[in-house]
Amino acid sequence: MPSTASLIPQLKATYPQFAFKLAESFLWSPSKQTVYYTTDDADYGFLLHELSHGLLGHADYSRDIELIAMERDAWDKALEIAKDYTVTINDDLIQSTLDTYRDWLHARSTCPRCKAVGLQIKKQTYTCPACRHPWRVNEARICALRRSAVA
């Protein structure tokens, strides 16, 4: 199996529209059009995942559910790219990463007063359909959850 580092020159050649930079963690930056990667992690799955966010034009979202859809789409795309390089991405990696997002969504969408499932009315605001209690949530960025879960 190739390492993350060995894939970089090939990816740079195939995707000249993006920059690839060594960093502390895997990250896609829409504003810089840059894929940040680390070689500590031997699993290039994350590398292809971040690249996929770029290829899919992922930049922002307005509802938490969209963030989860973007994460799932980026993994689907990563699986496609993996075929081009005859590498495989471990399905456990994908599922555990997506589970982290599902747990996160469940936690922030649960009404702190009555535990009913809330409705997201703004990017950082939920409201409870049962008891009408509103609550604010922190802003979450693409892939931020997974990175903090792994670190």
Q: Give me the residues that bind Zn ion (CB under 5 A), please.
A: 71, 74, 111, 113-114, 116, 128, 130-131, 133, 143
Residue 150 is encoded by which pair of tokens?
Answer: 């792994």
The smaller minimum CB distance to Zn ion, of residues 9 and 65, is found at 65
- Closest listed residue to residue 137, CA positions, set 115, 117, 100, 109: 109
Residue 36 to residues 28, 33, 79, 125, Cα–Cα distance (Å): 6, 10, 19, 30
- For residue 4, report the phi and psi dihedrals to the nearest 5 degrees: -55, -45
The smaller minimum CB distance to Zn ion, of residues 9 and 66, is found at 66
Minimal distance, residue 49 CB to Zn ion, in Å: 5
The smaller minimum CB distance to Zn ion, of residues 122 and 132, is found at 132
Minimal distance, residue 137 CB to Zn ion, in Å: 15
Minimal distance, residue 111 CB to Zn ion, in Å: 3
Q: Kindly report the number of other CB atoms within 10 A of residue 57's CB atom.
A: 8
Minimal distance, residue 150 CB to Zn ion, in Å: 12
